């Protein structure tokens, strides 16, 4: 068996970041590593491309667009102990995914970086995407992220779904509201987590129009349940342009 080309610990972190978020850009990695400029990030990426651990998606029609990076075939050897064979096989198709699919995952990475920037320095955060949740059958279907933040021994948990261009149809949104109402009522979470407190639900909407739609629809549905199910809404632009410490979430009230 051939020896794999060597990489640094930071380059391994980039590969694991791509395992979690599938696609990334230089600016995201610069924020992730908290670097003042992107010079070193670009060097790491160039070397990883040369060694065929990652590949770049280049827009031939607009060369000014930043490269989008995803995993390449040789990364399978590094990741085979971190994930399932099914996911490893997806690596071969990553470059050919649709633009809206790539943008969906890129914004999930932005959302992770938002939570990272907002958390207290003493807090610990787990941000799990679909690749991390493959074996947790009791969680809701189509979950984009499960988030747990521990502060002073107290853990708060969240389910997050992103309704961007990739999942922006009203039918999908209505289904998701009903899905969480049913999930909270059937006791799946309590039965599987030793009666841990139920997570809050975060919906990130494509725009204000969609936020208003789910607020109205969610209110009507919750009013019929007679339960206080914590659904919170925001928009993609609110996350993009938020300031540190700003509360960006609006609760869907049943009254």
The vertex-167 CA angle with 73 and 96, nearest 5°, equals 25
In the prediction, which pLDDT does 111 show?
Answer: 97
Q: Could you tell me the pLDDT band of residue 2, with boundaries at 50, 70 and 90?
A: low
Q: What is the pLDDT of residue 42?
A: 96
What is the per-residue pLDDT across 12-32, written as a single tens digit (0 to 9) for each?
A: 999 999 999 999 999 999 999
pLDDT, position 110: 97
* Residue 9: predicted pLDDT: 96
Return d(Cα 77, Cα 85) in angstroms, integer: 11
Q: Please state whether 55 falls in left (phi above 0), alpha (psi between -120 and 50) or beta.
A: beta
User: Per CATH, is 105-251 categorized as 3.40.1350?
Assistant: yes
Give the residue, 227 or 74, on which the prediction is more confident: 74
Write down the domain spans for the chain.
9-97, 105-251
* CATH code given to domain 9-97: 1.10.10.10
Instruction: Determine the pLDDT at residue 65.
Output: 87
Indicate if the alpha-carbon torsion angle 77, 113, 121, 125 is positive or negative.
negative
Question: Which pTM does this prediction carry?
Answer: 0.93
- How buried is 196 (Cβ within 10 angstroms: 0-12 exposed, 13-18 middle, 19+ buried)? exposed
Q: Give the model confidence (pLDDT) of 212-230 as tens digits.
A: 999 999 999 999 887 789 9
Confidence of residue 50 (pLDDT cuts 50, 70, 90): very high
């Amino acid at each position: 068996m051939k020896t794999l080309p060597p990489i640094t610990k930071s380059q391994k972190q980039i590969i694991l970041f791509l395992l979690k978020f599938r696609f990334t850009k230089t600016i995201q990695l610069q924020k992730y590593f908290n670097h003042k400029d992107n010079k070193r990030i670009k060097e790491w990426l160039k070397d990883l491309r040369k060694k065929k651990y990652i590949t770049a998606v280049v827009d031939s029609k607009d060369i000014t667009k930043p490269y989008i990076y995803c995993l390449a075939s040789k990364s399978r050897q590094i990741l085979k102990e971190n994930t399932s064979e099914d996911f490893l096989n997806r690596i071969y198709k990553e470059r050919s995914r649709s633009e809206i699919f790539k943008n969906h995952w890129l914004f999930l990475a932005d959302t992770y970086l938002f939570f990272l920037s907002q958390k207290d320095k003493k807090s610990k955060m787990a941000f799990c995407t679909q690749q991390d949740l493959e074996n947790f059958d009791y969680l809701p279907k189509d979950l984009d992220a499960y988030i747990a933040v521990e502060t002073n021994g107290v853990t708060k948990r969240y389910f997050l779904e992103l309704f961007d261009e990739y999942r922006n149809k009203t039918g999908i949104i209505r289904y998701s509201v009903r899905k969480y109402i049913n999930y909270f009522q059937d006791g799946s979470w309590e039965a599987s987590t030793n009666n841990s407190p139920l997570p809050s639900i975060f919906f990130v909407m494509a725009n204000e129009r969609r936020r208003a739609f789910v607020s109205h629809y969610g209110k009507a549905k919750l009013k019929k349940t007679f339960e206080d199910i914590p659904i919170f809404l925001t928009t993609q632009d609110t996350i993009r342009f938020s300031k540190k410490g700003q509360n960006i979430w609006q609760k869907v009230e049943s009254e």
